[in-house]
Structure 1
Amino acid sequence: MDTLKGRHTPLRRSLWAVGVYLLAGGLWITFSDYLAGQWFPDPETLNRVQTYKGILFVLVTALVLFLALMRQFSSDRTILSLHHHQREEIRELNQFRESVIERANVWINVLDPSGRIVLWNTTAEEITGYRREEVLDSDRIWQWLYPDADDRARNRARAEEILRDEGELVGYESCITTRDGRQRRISWNARSLRNENGEKVGAIAIGQDVTDLREAEMTIRQRERQLSTLMDNLPGMAYRCRYDDHWTMLFVSSGCRELTGYEPDELVNNHRVSYAELIADGGNGGVLRAVESAIGNAESFSIEYAIDRKDGRRIWVWERGRAVEDNGDLVLEGIILDISDRKKLENELSELATRDPLTGLFNRREMTRLLDEEVARAKRYGRALSLLWIDFDHFKEINDEYGHAAGDSVLKATSALLADSVRSVDVIGRFGGEEFVILLPEMDRAEAWETAERLRTLIRETPQPLGDGRTVPLTISIGVSVFPDHGTDSHTLCAEADRAMYQAKSSGRNRVVLAPLVQEAHNP
């Protein structure tokens, strides 16, 4: 009805204008002729007045027509301009739709109040595989995207909430099924649409395909779990620390707890204690030198040192690490293992290699090495060095009468007594059988003689246990040689002391004999 009314409006206006013109013209002619006849009775004058009146009428009507046309033309120009502007807006809207909506890299679709699709952009086609012509003005897409009835009902209910303007969707995720049967995860943002009168006319939904992102996140989480599991099961502590004086820990694995006794967060950023404080006996200097050398050579480092745990127990650790660059700064990454058991085993093996298994004293090889070192030191500093060569008197009789077990007991007890009776700087070792050697650094002939006599007297006055509760008396014979009086090398000193010991035995045993001076030994 409004359309018909709009169509007849120009006709009515035209008829109304013509009617007004005819009425005005009729009134003008009628009244102007009457007035002219009343005012100008002279025919000639009346004729001229009629002529002027006609010209005036033409001029007035021309002016009115001119004004009417000007108004109409102005109105037409305004309308044309408005139409042109509207066409430009329509063109710009089309361009906007083409450039923003159609070419957007997100899925954009608009629903009418019934949930049917009224806008379906190119990205929606690419993600789902369904063309615009298939989905517009239809709600079949719900079944295609969500073939599972429960899933479809759940997502349809969320869409209807938006259509009823009962909230917005932000980051809501749903899993769709594409035309080719693939599963894609979409993150939705949606809200209702209203027209200029505030009436609800549908809803707009913007979806982003986050399938690859979620898969990447899942992969990262799996790797983080794997890394965490690996770190938690490492036989030590993995770390990442600053290259500073405190070895400030930026990360430590849970192995920190078993290794140091501290919780990880107690070490990180020196919250309670710095790692440098755990390194025992001033070992920081050695660690620093090893790290600096490795950095200078662009290689990894391996270090062994002791640390003090939270419970006060000292353990040995082995650290393997490397310097890496992090945002322009050097940091260290590596692993620290508890090697206390290995260190203990090494010490035990070292003991086996250098110690006599029966007495626990140094063996012949180690004593020879230590004697060489002491001779070299004595030469370097010009100091004296004495050597005692000890042999047990009649020891074979103890073995023959009481057995070798009893003899071993006597050897152990006597060697322990000798070791406890010398200075801490002195070195005692077993050369084999019942022969023992004692090194006395910085001790001259007189002092060595006094020490030898004291030890001889101590052994003679101390009954030695047989291991079964019984004891036996024992005496020793001692030969003494002194550097440089009796020789300037280890071989000569040993030979002279051994010779002096045999002289003590041949002189009746249980005595001390000082080796003769070099010149004395060569006198006839």
Structure 2
Amino acid sequence: MERLKGRLTPLRRSLWVVGVYLLAGWFWITFSDYLVEQWFPDPETLSRVQTYKGILFVLVTALVLFLALMRQFSRDRTLLSLHYHQREEIQQLNQFRESVIERANVWINVLDPSGRVVLWNRAAEEISGYQRDEVLGSDEVWQWLYPDEEERAGIRARAQEILRDEGEVVGYETCITTKAGRKRRVSWNSRSLRGQDGEIVGSIAIGQDVTDIREAEITIRHHERQLSTLMDNLPGMAYRCLYDEYWTMLFVSSGCRDLTGYEPDELVNNKRVSYAELIADGSNDEIVRAVESAIGNAEPFSIEYTIIRKDGQRIWVWERGRAVEDDDGLVLEGIILDISERKALEQELSELATRDPLTGLFNRREMTRLLDEEIARAKRYDRALSLLWIDFDHFKRINDEYGHAAGDSVLKATSKLLADSVRSVDVIGRIGGEEFVVLLPEMDRVEAGETAERLLRLIRETPQPLGDGRTVPLTISIGVSVFPENGTDSGALCAAADRAMYQAKSGGRNQVVLAPLAEQAHNS
């Protein structure tokens, strides 16, 4: 009806204009002819006036028609200009839709108040698999995307809340089923749309396919769990620290507890204690040199040192790490292991290499090395040095009569007694069988002789255990040599002391014999 009414309006206006024109023409012709005939009775004059009157009518009507046409053309031009601008705006809107909505990499769809799809962009097609012509003007797509009725009901309820302007959705994630049957996770932002009159005309939803993001997050969390499990099961402490004077820890693994006794957060950022404070015995300078050298050569560093645990215990650690550049500047990454058991084993092996397995005293090789060191020191500082060569008297008789186990018991007990009876600076060793050597730094001939006599009496007056509750008396023979009177090297001193000991044996045993001073001249 409105359309028909719009069509009749121009016709009525045209008929009205024509009617006005005919009426004006009729009045002009009728009254003008009457007036002219009254004013100009002469036929010739009347004919000319009639001619001029006709010309005037034509001119007047032409002017009116000209003005009317000018007005209409002006209005038409305005309408054409408006139409042109409207067409440009429509074209720009179409370009906006093409460039922004259609080319957007996010799903954009618009629903009318009934929940039917009125806009479905290209990204929505690509993510869902459903084309625009399949979904426009319909609400069936939601049954396809959400086959589960309960889930679909919940989503539709949220959509209805938005259409009622009862809120908006931000970051609401749903799992859709695509046309190909794949599951995709979509994060939605949605709100209602209002028209120019303020009434709700529908809703717009923008969805982002976050399937790959969520899968990546799951993978990252899985890797983080694996890394955390690996870190928790490392035999030591993994770390990441600043290259500063405090070795400020940025990260430490849970192995920190077993290694240092501190909780990880107590070391991180020096919250309670810095790692530098745990390093013992002035080893920090050595660590700094090792790290600086490794950084300069662009290589990893390895170093062993001791740290002091929270409970005060000292332990040996081995650190392996390297320097890397990151946002914090130059940082160190590596691992620190407790090697106390290994160090103890090394010490034990070292002692096995230098100690007599039965008595625990130094063996012949170590005693020779220590004697060479003491001779060099005595020469450098011009100090005295003495050597005692000890042999047990009739020791074979103890082995034959009581057995080798009893002999071993006597050797161990006598060794301990001798070791406990000399100074802390003195060194005692077993060089084989029942022969022992005592090294007496900074002790001259007279003092060495007195020490030898004291040890002789001690052994003679102390019965030695056989290991079964019984004891046996024992005596020793001792030879004494002195540096430099009896020699200036280890071989000469040992030979002089050994000869003096055999003189004590030949002289009846249980006595001390000092190597003669003439030995010095002989060795020279």
Q: When the two structures are superposed, what TM-score results if normalisation uses the length of structure 1?
A: 0.90
Amino acid at match of 2:260: T
- The answer to whether the 8 Å contact 1:363/1:431 transfers is yes
Matches within 5 A, 1:227-242: 227-242=227-242
C-alpha change, 1:17 and 1:414, in structure 2 (3 Å) is same
Matched with 1:125 is 125
Identity rate, percent: 82
Separation in structure 2 between the aligned mates of residue 179 and residue 518 of structure 1, nearest angstrom = 114
List alignment gaps of at least 5 residues for structure 2.
Answer: none
Between the aligned partners of 1:13 and 1:97, the Cα distance in structure 2 is: 41
Task: Give 1:292 shift.
Answer: 2.5
Instruction: Give, in whole Å, the separation in 1 of the partners of 2:86 and 2:26.
Output: 44
Does residue 1:410 correspond to 2:410, yes or no? yes
The alpha-carbon deviation at position 218 of structure 1 amounts to 0.9
Opposite residue 304 of structure 1, the aligned amino acid is E
Structure 1: where are the runs of 5+ without partners? none
Return the offset for 1:192.
1.8
Counterpart position of 1:486: 486
What is the distance in 1 between the residues matched to 2:44 and 2:384?
A: 172
Question: In the aligned structure 2, how far is the partner of 1:228 from the partner of 1:190?
Answer: 39
Q: Distance in 2 between matches of 1:455 and 1:46?
A: 183
Give yes or no for the alignment of 1:108 onto 2:92: no
1: CA distance, partners of 2:312 / 2:32: 132
The 5-angstrom pairing of residues 427-466 of structure 1 reads 427-466=427-466
Tell me what 1:7 maps to: 7
Give me the TM-score of the superposition, normalised by structure 2.
0.90
How much has 1:377 moved relative to structure 2? 3.3
Using the alignment, how far apart are the partners of 1:488 and 1:310 within structure 2?
Answer: 51
Q: Is the 8 A contact 2:485 2:519 kept in 1?
A: no
Contact 1:278 1:309 survives alignment (8 Å): yes
Aligned-pair CA distance for 1:18: 2.8
Whole-Å separation in 1 of the counterparts to 2:56 and 2:240: 107
Report the residue type matching 2:390 in the other structure.
I
Q: CA deviation at 1:396?
A: 3.9
In the TM superposition, 1:197-236 aligns within 5 A as: 197-236=197-236
Contact 2:486 / 2:520 at 8 angstroms: preserved in 1? no
Give the match's secondary structure for 1:371: helix
1:282 matched to which residue of 2? 282
* Contact 1:477–1:504, Cα closer than 8 Å, also in 2: yes
Distance in 2, matches of 1:299 and 1:7, equals 92
| 1:148-227 correspondence runs (5 A) | 148-227=148-227
Per-residue CA deviation, residues 58-85 of structure 1 (Å, 9 max, x unaligned), is 5554443333222211110010011111
Q: How many matched pairs?
A: 522
Q: Which moved more, 1:348-357 or 1:399-408?
A: 399-408
Q: Assess if the C-alpha contact under 8 Å between 1:108 and 1:121 holds in 2.
A: yes
Structure 1 residue identity aligned to 2:239: Y
How many angstroms apart in 2 are the aligned matches of 1:518 and 1:5?
154
Q: Which residue of 1 aligns with 2:365?
A: 365
Cα offset for 1:473? 4.4
- For residues 330-341 of structure 1, what are the structure 2 equivalents within 5 Å? 330-341=330-341
Alpha carbons 2:486, 2:519 under 8 Å: kept: no
Alignment of 1:37-186 (within 5 A): 58-186=58-186
The whole-number CA distance in structure 2 between the counterparts of 1:514 and 1:521 is 16
C-alpha separation in 1, matches of 2:56 and 2:483: 159
- Cα distance in 2, alignment partners of residues 37 and 422 from structure 1: 174
Matched, 1:392 2:392: yes
Instruction: Specify the code of the residue in structure 1 equivalent to 2:338.
Output: D
Structural mapping, 1:264-343, within 5 Å? 264-327=264-327, 329-343=329-343
Deviates more, 1:247-256 or 1:364-373: 364-373
Q: Secondary structure of 2:443's partner?
A: coil
Q: How far does residue 307 in structure 1 lie from its aligned partner after superposition? A: 1.0
Once structures 1 and 2 are overlaid, which stretch shifts more, 379-388 or 87-96?
379-388
- Summarize the Cα distance change of 1:157–1:187 in structure 2 as closer, same or farther, 3 Å threshold: same
Is the 1:250–1:269 Cα contact (8 Å) retained in structure 2? yes
Structural RMSD (CA): 2.8
Q: State the SS of the aligned residue for 1:201.
A: strand
In 1, the alpha carbon distance for the partners of 2:60 and 2:221 equals: 92
Shift of 1:217: 1.1
Quick check: 1:507 aligned with 2:507? yes
* Cross-structure match for 1:348: 348
* Equivalent in the alignment of 1:496: 496
Q: Is the CA contact (8 Å cut-off) linking 2:362 and 2:430 kept in structure 1?
A: yes
